[in-house]
Structure 1
Amino acid sequence: MKKTILLLCLTFLTIGCTDHLWNEDQVTSPNRWKAHFRIQDREVPIIFHLDTVPSNIHSFRVIFTDGPSKNQKEIVQQFGDSIRVELDRYRGISLKGVFENQQIKGVYRNQKFTPALEVPFTAQQSNEKRFTPVTKSSTINPTGDWEFVFTTSTTTPNIDLYHKLSQLQLYKTDSTLVGSGYYYQGFEGILTENGFVLSSFSRDQPVLYEATFINANEVEGTLYTALEVIPFRGTKKSNLESTVESSSNGIITLWNLFKAYIAYP
């Protein structure tokens, strides 16, 4: 056990000392699907892999890929030309679709709300990028830690989601923009002509950020969710603020690992 804890410490120190984020999307995979979820007048692109796994209870697995994060679902049922993916353990959130002309046409359904939320989607096997690159993108590099403030009621059922979406670490690669948020939530997007877009399915629902740069350290934009669409403003934290927060979180994590190391023989 002590060896395991030491390995965790070394891993944390290695990863925690870099701002680099990796994109886990395997664009050339033959099992890669690109879905579009319709929220108002927007098509929210989401990437997932549909794999055959004979050892699974229903022989299939779905893995959603969002920048540096993967969200794996094991309860995937296929009956004839129909497919159902359970997104949570209580089976209150699901994807239901029908295979039609080499596509899946279906509905995202969240029964935790009254009435239940429903978002239509289509998906097809694809090696296309998540977002179509623009001809001329902004020269501003948003790499760093960002804080977003959403203009919404404090009584909205989505308040917990907005809290988890309010802090993002962004990293610009050669061709994409990837992000990491609360509890390993991942994002992928691109720079646009005057801002950036990001999408995610990490919290078991489609989410889309559309942001416009006010300057290099501020943005304003719109957040699209299955429940509602709301405006936001975002501020890039200074290097000092980011360093202080990272150091504080790092010290807490290392202290907890150290206590675990002492506790085990």
Structure 2
Amino acid sequence: MKYSIHIFVLTSLAFLLFSCTKSYELESKDAGEHGYEVWQGNFIVQDGVHIPLLFGVEAKEGTRQVRLFSGPELAHWSYWIDRGDSISFQSGLHSEFKGIRQGDKISGIYIDGVRTKQERAKFEVQKVEKQETPFPIITNPSAISPIGTWELNFGQLKDLSDSKELLRYNIDRVQTFDLYRNGNVVIGKAYGAGGIQGFDGVMTSDGFICSSFHHSEPFLIEATFIDENTFDVEITSTTDTYKAIGKRKSQTIEDTEHTESVLRGIYLTLKGFFRW
């Protein structure tokens, strides 16, 4: 009996070790989950550039939550303030959406600032039955697979001696990011200053295009493949345009959180096993 338990434990550990090394597939968050109203549209930033905006609002009376989504990440949650045709909600510590509702459409401004609130962008959204990919899907996307981990090189980083810039999130501090492709859809996570940043989009004929909302900053990311392991990328925010080069670091994506969780489980199992 004792040897049978030993074999069972060791077999379980072997399975856990195998599981902790497998790659994973990212999934985009669904703004309509748990009965949320889905609102989808765009920021309108410098030079009229549109950056997708997606959030869900609790479909109930009284105090309601609003959740802003960015690819596989929940970027922010706040409270939906509805005063007749006027709506507003916070986005991070110092940012806020303010708009006028006309039926199933809302248009307004996105403002930011610790002391002096300044308009960062206009926005327009519409309530929809189901969230959809914000970018048009083309019939002949690039054959290059973006799946894997990439390193970004922005060259000279932005000067943060200006206190206004120091308090804002600057995407040029991102070091690496993971990409996953499912058909024409691209989903990813970026890592660097300010935690994990989610984004999603689609493949294009020569690369991919995606968007992100992180630390109260919307971004449009347009990449063009140079070869299978390199791409040029231009990133547009409400006030800046960043240029960078992406270099492929690996072909697979490791789920770090999953791996750490499994290893922690193995440690506790071994600890209990040897005590036993």
1:107-137 CA distance string (max 9 Å, x none): 1111049773511110002344221212321
Output the amino acid matched with 1:22.
E
Normalised by the size of structure 1, how large is the TM-score? Answer: 0.77
The Cα of 1:231 is off from its aligned counterpart by: 1.2
Structure 1 residue corresponding to 2:51, chosen from 33, 44, 55: 44
Relative to structure 1, the CA distance from residue 173 to residue 200 in structure 2 (aligned partners, 3 Å threshold; closer, same or farther) is: same
Q: Give 5+ residue unaligned stretches, structure 1.
A: 1-9
The alignment covers a number of residue pairs equal to 244
Where do 1:51-66 residues align within 5 Å?
51-54=58-61, 59-66=63-70
> Residues 174 and 64 of structure 1: is their aligned pair in 2 closer, same or farther, counting only changes over 3 Å?
same
Q: Deviations over 1:152-200 (max 9, x none)?
A: 5441426853255332100001231000123342111100111101111
**Mapping 1:94-105, distance limit 5 Å:** 94-105=96-107
The question of 1:171 aligning with 2:180 is answered yes
Match of 1:21 in 2: 26
> 2:219 is matched by which residue type in structure 1?
V
Given the superposition, is the C-alpha separation of residues 13 and 59 from structure 1 closer, same or farther in structure 2, using an over 3 Å criterion? farther
Q: Could you say which residue in structure 1 is the equivalent of 2:9?
A: none
Equivalent-residue separation in structure 2 for 1:131 and 1:46 (angstroms)? 12
Cα distance in 1 for partners of 2:215, 2:16 equals: 25
The equivalent of 2:205 in structure 1 is 193
Query: What amino acid does structure 1 have at the position aligned with 2:185?
Result: T
Q: CA deviation at 1:100?
A: 2.3
Letter in 2 for 1:120: K
Please say if residues 112 and 119 of structure 2, whose CA atoms lie closer than 8 Å, have aligned partners that are also in contact.
yes
Aligned match for 2:190, one of 160, 181, 184? 181
Alignment of 1:51-200 (within 5 A): 51-54=58-61, 59-88=63-92, 90=93, 92-112=94-114, 116-126=118-128, 127=130, 128-156=132-160, 157=165, 161-182=170-191, 183-200=195-212
- Contact 2:157 2:173 (8 Å CA) reproduced: no
| Corresponding residue of 1:7 | none
- 1: distance between equivalents of 2:141 and 2:97? 34
**Structure 2 unaligned regions, length at least 5:** 1-14, 272-276
Change (3 A) 1:16 1:53: farther
Higher Cα Rg, which structure:
2
Name the counterpart of 2:4. Answer: none
CA distance in 2, matches of 1:12, 1:132: 41
- Structure 1 residues 53 and 143, CA, compared in 2 at 3 Å: closer, same or farther? same
Q: Considering fraction of residues, name the structure with more strand.
A: 2
Aligned-residue sequence identity (percent) comes to 24
The corresponding residue for 2:8 is none
Q: Any idea what SS the aligned residue of 2:134 has? A: coil
The Cα shift of 1:144 comes to 0.4
